[in-house]
Amino acid sequence: MKNVLALACGLVLLVTGVRGVEVSAPSALLMEKETGEILFAKDEHTPREPASVTKIMTLLLTMEAIDSGQFTYDTLLTASAHACSMGGSQIWLKENEQLSVGDMLKAVCVVSANDCAVALAEAVAGSEEAFVERMNQRAAELGMRDTTFRNATGLPAAGHVTSAHDIALMSRELILNHPDIRQYTTIWMDTLREGTSQLVNTNRLVRFYDGATGLKTGSTDSALYCLSATAEREGMELIAVVLKGATSAKRFEDAQALLNYGFASYALRRVAPEAPLPPLPVKLGLQATVQPVLGEGGTLLLERAKAGELTQTVELAETVEAPVALGTRLGTLTVASGEEVVAEIPLLAGEEVPRITYGQMLPRLLKTAFLAG
């Protein structure tokens, strides 16, 4: 499917000061979650150190392990000597100390605990080294071509790099398919160890930005200040990535500017046929009709000026000849804003209709002849 928005978004990528958006960081990107559309980009493919923003991939693989039944939020994990040896941000795990998967996820999301990130990595893959292999494999599957991971934490390591574009890809995968992560990424203040360990989120947007849903901060002396910030308003969730911000405050200012631009300029609309689609006659089919259904593309990201009054027209074939495969295109739902077509969504066969054989047709013919007589 092609629509005018694709061209508009392509033009947006040619400049970095779109409609007054100013980003001081050298690399930045704004993406809409549902469609994956890029609304703003600046030097988005340059590999840079991500610091603890790395942990988005650690969170993603942990959530996938939970979904697969490998363990649950309540499963107790025992901290290894290796996990406890991590420097930087941590909750000071003691060797053989036990915490639940949920508590370790909380520690990673809220205070960027390196020790808990490694403990989760070991639980998923057996060792941090094996987990890093999975991180890089998953990155390749997501199309993160600018990325090489060397550890599960984002602590400085030679060759450990990613890009604003790739961070947006893994952020989208996490929040799109694992929305439960919000129970941790939206925490501002909390405790662990029965209230003895205090947690305050490193992402101050969680407290101060309307609709903030996460996601992950990061900083080291060489990476400077990094952030993948997510927020949702009016059913639209945006991902703002900032790499190598000069100061902590500037990275939050950049992310807020990107999010403000996205919410002010775009809206998400979900389109469905206004009336039930009629079944289409099938020639020589094992059944007489096939039911058309709406194909992919029913969620539209539109400029706000075009998202108000939308009109639609349906074009369907008069008949279709068997065999009809599942997903065969039967027509088009055209969506317009005024005189401008903003989307052409395919209407597809919602079921398979095999071609009738001679042996199956014969009883029908005999029945018809008998009734006629």
| Residue 109 contacts residue 216 (beta carbons within 8 Å) | yes
Instruction: List the catalytic residue out of 52, 219, 265, 337.
Output: 52
Phi, psi at 243, each rounded to 5°: -120, 140
Q: Is the dihedral of CA 37, 43, 49, 50 positive or negative?
A: negative
Cβ within 8 Å of residue 76, ≥6 positions away: 98, 99, 100
pLDDT of residue 92: 96
Q: Which string of b and e fits 225-258 if b means at least 16 CB within 10 Å?
A: bbbbbbbbeeebbbbbbbbbbeeeebbbbbbbbb
Q: Comparing C-alpha atoms, which of 91, 140, 139 is closest to residue 118?
A: 91
Cross-strand pairs, 28: 42, 242
* 52 among known catalytic residues: yes
Q: What is the pLDDT along the chain (373 residues), one digit of tens a residue?
A: 434 344 344 434 333 445 568 999 999 999 999 999 999 999 999 999 999 999 999 999 999 999 999 999 999 999 999 999 998 999 999 999 999 999 999 999 999 999 999 999 999 999 999 999 999 999 999 999 999 999 999 999 999 999 999 999 999 999 999 999 999 999 999 999 999 999 999 999 999 999 999 999 999 999 999 999 999 999 999 999 999 999 999 999 999 999 999 999 999 999 999 999 999 999 999 999 999 999 988 899 999 989 888 999 999 999 999 999 999 999 999 999 999 999 999 999 999 999 988 777 666 666 666 666 5
Instruction: List the catalytic residue out of 33, 42, 55, 106.
Output: 55
* 55 among known catalytic residues: yes
pLDDT of residue 314: 95
**Are β-strands 98-100 and 76-78 bridged in parallel, bridged antiparallel, or unpaired?**
antiparallel
* 112 among known catalytic residues: yes
Instruction: List the catalytic residue out of 27, 89, 112, 337.
Output: 112
pTM here is 0.87
The whole-angstrom separation of Cα 320 and Cα 64 is 42
